[in-house]
Copies of this chain bind each other. A is one copy, B any other.
């Protein structure tokens, strides 16, 4: 789907927020040109396309920019019917999906993002516990949203799958960084099964990052990084 040049995505392969938009585009079978930003720099196109936040990802559709990953995902869902609906059809289910996606961004992601700036062991443990508590809530959210099916979205990957799935490889990076297991078959059995199914999904498997390559990327780019993981 999509004529050549109709859809472009400004992002990076390491960005969890770019990943969200790539999964959504894949789900809808949209051809797009991937305009990869270099680490530590911002292209003129990015600065022109997102002058307020100056951040990736930006979707360009007929050269009109759409910014902010979850807004892009909703836009993709509303414009293209060439794949399963990303948001649930029922307004209440849609509100619940939006609630958990917002929870992930506003409450859960900050610990994942900021833990690397923390050096004090007690502070690190506090952040890890925040992540554990969030995963426990998301384990319950999975039961609520999936209704016994494979994904938060039911039979198909949906909004919460994309919101949470975008951050999955960076969660694995943090597990490796701190030699802990946070999302696993004992602590979060539903999420453990979900993560396996998600990573194997045709819309995800070719764009999901390899945690070891992310770690390697961080080591190479450590001087260029003001913040990690890359801000959306």
Contacts and interface: CB of A to CB of B under 8 A. Distances in A.
B52 A74 contact: no
Count the copies. 2
B64 A99 contact: no
A98 interface: yes
A71 B91 contact: no
A194 B98 CA distance: 29
A220 interface: no
Given A68-B102, A102-B68, A75 B95 contact: yes
B71 A102 contact: yes
Contacts of A201: none
Contact of A78 (B64, B66, B75, B94): B94
Contacts of A99: 52, 66-68, 71
A137 B102 CA distance: 24
A117 interface: no
A92 B66 CA distance: 8
Contacts of A137: 52
Given A52-B137, A137-B52, A74 B95 contact: yes
What 10 pairs between A and B have smallest CB-CB spacing? A78-B91, A75-B95, A71-B98, A66-B95, A79-B91, A71-B95, A75-B91, A71-B99, A67-B99, A68-B102
